[in-house]
Amino acid sequence: MSEQEFTITDLTRILLEGAGAGEGIDLGGDILDTDFEELGYESLALLETGGRIEREYGISLDDDIFTDHRTPRALVAAINGYLKELVAP
């Protein structure tokens, strides 16, 4: 199985599908280092986002994924870590 890559584009798409975007928030802008909380996503929005990532990529995320990775950049890197393990356990 070849390695998939998870990008910021994938993340913003999943965020929009599962939780939408707040008023005045442009997910297409430079959000890589902005905390999810500042982007208007509370724990439930992140739970929904995590669930959607798990479903789509066939991975199982740690319960602490969003407390350990609070920005899109950190999360994208972490998800890619999971995807790497998937092909080379």
Partner 1 sequence: MSVKTVITGIGVATANGLGVDEFWAATRVGKNAIGRVTRFDASSYPARLAGEVRGFEVSEHLPSRLIPQTDRMTQLALVAADCAFEDAGVEPGNIPEFDMGVVTASTSGGFEFGQNELKKLWSQGSQYVSAYQSFAWFYAVNSGQISIRNGMKGPSGVVVSDHAGGLDAIAQARRQIRKGSKLIFSGGFDASICPWGWVAQVAGGRLSTSDEPDRAYLPFDAAANGYVPGEGGALLILEDIRTARERGAENIYGEVAGYGATFDPKPGSGREPGLRRAIAVALADAGVEAGEVDVVFADAAGSPDLDRQEADAITAVFGPSGVPVTAPKTMIGRLYSGAAPVDVVSAVLAIREGLIPPTTNVELSPEYDLDLVTGQPRTASVRTALVLARGVGGFNSAVVVRATG
Give the Cα separation of 27 and 51 in Å (integer): 20
> Does the protein bind partner 1 through residue 18 (CB under 8 A)?
yes
The C-alpha atoms of residue 49 and residue 65 are separated, in whole angstroms, by: 11
Binding to partner 1 in span 47-76, by CB under 8 A: 47-48, 51, 54-55
How far is the C-alpha of 4 from the C-alpha of 31, rounded, in Å? 22
| Contacting residue, 7, 9, 22, 77, with partner 1 by CB under 8 A | 22
Site residues (CB under 8 A) for partner 1?
Answer: 16-23, 25, 40, 44-45, 47-48, 51, 54-55
